[in-house]
A and B are shown apart, each in its own frame.
Chain A
């Protein structure tokens, strides 16, 4: 990294009445990047975002934004914008008033406010809706008002807290692209919280996977997919997630290890030729391919993908094969062993 990072978190910890919120969070986020905080609910990703926004104050650690220590600064002094899961639009204000709310509070002159409003509405495709109240808009439009409010002031850092979770699946896909494009066009730094790994993997430059208040792995989507640091990452990332097999089932890996393998690296082979023999427990037709779930005593999450429609009856026994180079080996504690 040639330039200083936009956002730096150093050993952040936050506890709620002695209960763990997050701990030991250290992150460097470069300017202009798209970072996703990913994890199951209750993992501390939203807490991390709220600490960054200044809505909560950390018990330990420091936060730098743009080189400035903002650990205890008020939310309004951090020069950032935020999109809330519920959008947090003011129901008594029109679209235009909602968007310029912050500019008005910060006493930006009216002329300038109008210009910025126009630009923000243009970018988000909301021209013509200026005088509507949030209650008169669809979910997708409300979401865009929230986006317009986030970009109107031209803050270089934008925090998003599950902004897509209230949209239906189809809309979510298109808005996902819109947000990504917006981020690139404006060159802003986005930190995005989500529990949906598809969202994180498809949008982010860097994914931060969290669990129980700790960071599990930081890396590019490809990194997390191909080099999971531990079994939690392996099982969380990817659809379908990685299957985990006890090392005792396969010879040659020693005791107490866990072996990971992705569905696309497994082949179905004629009986007697495979390394494992499993029972089919379900077949799921996904369109381009069929996902066949497999049961085996020493494995969990085992499945295989077959092209097109090719259902296999439940209870059938099939043999599978895979190559050693596709295997991921984890030690007894679940940490990846470098091979």
Chain B
């Protein structure tokens, strides 16, 4: 019985792994073969890198990469700044209406960002940030998830450390910077990973709010590149897709262990 459940466990794990990796494997296969070979799954057909060459010259990828990179960086910096301050306030400060405000923040977790697209669009236009990287990133900066995460992490810091820092002459922001932030490092790392991968892959909102190649991130650029009116060539689209996920994929493979550990340490599963 025991060996049977063990078998089911590993069988399930392998099955899931195969299902998850299959599209990636197919994309890799398609990207490295000519279109007809790829579609007909000819196993011994010759390998080629032509698709990458064609895809690369077909769109301003470097600009897109740069835009996506800037986008996730701007969002991450904004998130770190806002969630740190808000998380600290909810964890360690006393102010009237704190619980009520915190519940409001938590309620934000229940709302899908897509629901707010129209409202966000209007707001970003009013702010004059339409078609700018800051405009794409703005709605995600005061992340409820991040605030909640930072609050939990800051709450775990022993109060004696706070008091010791106070006696040693630290102000409130000094304590936050010198005691709370360094102690929450694993949480920051885990949160950064979630944030970067989410916003690297985010599509709908950037599609709506960007209007030019100057601000378009990779996902939007890719969809325009692969749009049916440009003619569907599965191999070239696969090549372009692989290029756009490559940085994240490689980073994940290199930092796999730290990735998983930081999640365990921060208590997110």
Counting chain A residues whose Cβ lies within 8 A of the other chain, the interface size class is 20 to 34
Say yes or no: is A92 at the interface (Cβ < 8 Å to chain B): yes
Pick from A79-87, A119-127, A180-188, A297-305 the stretch touching chain B. Answer: A79-87
A interface, over-half SS: loop
Say yes or no: is A88 at the interface (Cβ < 8 Å to chain B): yes
Pick from A99-107, A223-231, A258-266 the stretch touching chain B. Answer: A99-107
List residues of chain B with CB within 8 A of the CB of A74.
166
Contact, CB under 8 Å: B182 / A75: no
Counting chain B residues whose Cβ lies within 8 A of the other chain, the interface size class is 10 to 19
Q: How far is the CB of A141 from chain B (nearest CB, A)?
A: 17
Say yes or no: is B89 at the interface (Cβ < 8 Å to chain A): no
Contact of B168 among A54, A86, A105 (CB under 8 A): A105
Within the assembled complex, what's the spacing in Å between the Cα atoms of A84 and B160? 7
List residues of chain B with CB within 8 A of the CB of A55.
163, 166-167
In the complex where A84-B163, A86-B158 touch, is A92 in contact with B169 (Cβ < 8 A)? no
Say yes or no: is A164 at the interface (Cβ < 8 Å to chain B): no
State which residues 146-192 of B face A: CB under 8 Å. 158, 160-161, 163-171, 174, 178-179, 182-183, 185
State which residues 106-152 of A face B: CB under 8 Å. 106, 149
Contact, CB under 8 Å: A105 / B169: yes
Contact of B158 among A54, A76, A88, A105 (CB under 8 A): A88
Q: How far is the CB of A134 from chain B (nearest CB, A)?
A: 11
List residues of chain A with CB within 8 A of the CB of B174.
105
Contact, CB under 8 Å: A82 / B167: yes
Contact, CB under 8 Å: A75 / B166: yes
Q: How far is the CB of A17 from chain B (nearest CB, A)?
A: 14
Contact, CB under 8 Å: A76 / B164: no
Within the assembled complex, what's the spacing in Å between the Cα atoms of A93 and B164? 14
Chain A 249-290: CB-based contact to B (< 8 A → 1; otherwise 0) = 000000000000000000000000000000000000000000
Say yes or no: is A91 at the interface (Cβ < 8 Å to chain B): yes
Contact, CB under 8 Å: A90 / B167: no
| Inter-chain contact total with CB atoms closer than 8 Å | 60
Q: How far is the CB of A33 from chain B (nearest CB, A)?
A: 21
Say yes or no: is A53 at the interface (Cβ < 8 Å to chain B): yes
Contact of A105 among B161, B178, B182 (CB under 8 A): B178
List residues of chain A with CB within 8 A of the CB of B179.
90
Contact, CB under 8 Å: B183 / A88: no
Within the assembled complex, what's the spacing in Å between the Cα atoms of A214 and B163? 25
List residues of chain A with CB within 8 A of the CB of B171.
76
State which residues 38-56 of A face B: CB under 8 Å. 53-55
List residues of chain B with CB within 8 A of the CB of A88.
158, 160-161, 163-164
Within the assembled complex, what's the spacing in Å between the Cα atoms of A194 and B146? 42
State which residues 45-77 of A face B: CB under 8 Å. 53-55, 74-76
Closest to A101 in B: B168
Closest to B175 in A: A105
Contact, CB under 8 Å: A92 / B183: yes
List residues of chain A with CB within 8 A of the CB of B185.
92
Within the assembled complex, what's the spacing in Å between the Cα atoms of A102 and B174? 11
List residues of chain A with CB within 8 A of the CB of B166.
54-55, 74-76
Within the assembled complex, what's the spacing in Å between the Cα atoms of A74 and B169? 9
Contact, CB under 8 Å: A76 / B169: yes
Considering residues B169, B171, B174, which has the most beta carbons from chain A within 10 angstroms of its beta carbon? B169
Contact, CB under 8 Å: A91 / B163: no
Contact, CB under 8 Å: A84 / B169: no
Contact, CB under 8 Å: A80 / B167: yes
Considering residues B164, B178, B185, which has the most beta carbons from chain A within 10 angstroms of its beta carbon? B164
List residues of chain A with CB within 8 A of the CB of B167.
53-55, 75-76, 80-82, 102
Contact of B164 among A54, A82, A106 (CB under 8 A): A82
Within the assembled complex, what's the spacing in Å between the Cα atoms of A85 and B164? 11
Within the assembled complex, what's the spacing in Å between the Cα atoms of A86 and B161? 9
Within the assembled complex, what's the spacing in Å between the Cα atoms of A150 and B167? 10
List residues of chain A with CB within 8 A of the CB of B164.
82, 84, 88, 90
List residues of chain A with CB within 8 A of the CB of B182.
90, 92-93
Closest to A50 in B: B163
Closest to A80 in B: B167
In the complex where A92-B183, A105-B178 touch, is A76 in contact with B163 (Cβ < 8 A)? no
List residues of chain B with CB within 8 A of the CB of A92.
182-183, 185
List residues of chain A with CB within 8 A of the CB of B168.
76, 81, 101-102, 105, 149
Closest to A82 in B: B167
| Interface contacts beyond A84-B164, A92-B185, A102-B168: sample of 10 additional A-B pairs, CB < 8 Å, sorted by A | A55-B163, A76-B169, A88-B164, A90-B161, A90-B164, A90-B178, A92-B182, A101-B168, A102-B167, A102-B169
26 A/B residue pairs, CB under 8 Å, sorted by A: A54-B166, A55-B163, A55-B166, A75-B163, A75-B166, A76-B167, A76-B170, A76-B171, A80-B167, A81-B168, A84-B164, A85-B160, A88-B160, A88-B161, A88-B163, A88-B164, A90-B161, A90-B164, A92-B183, A93-B182, A101-B165, A102-B167, A105-B170, A105-B178, A106-B169, A149-B168
Across the A-B interface, give the 7 residue pairs with the lowest CB-CB distance, nearest first: A102-B168, A88-B160, A88-B164, A76-B169, A92-B182, A75-B166, A105-B169
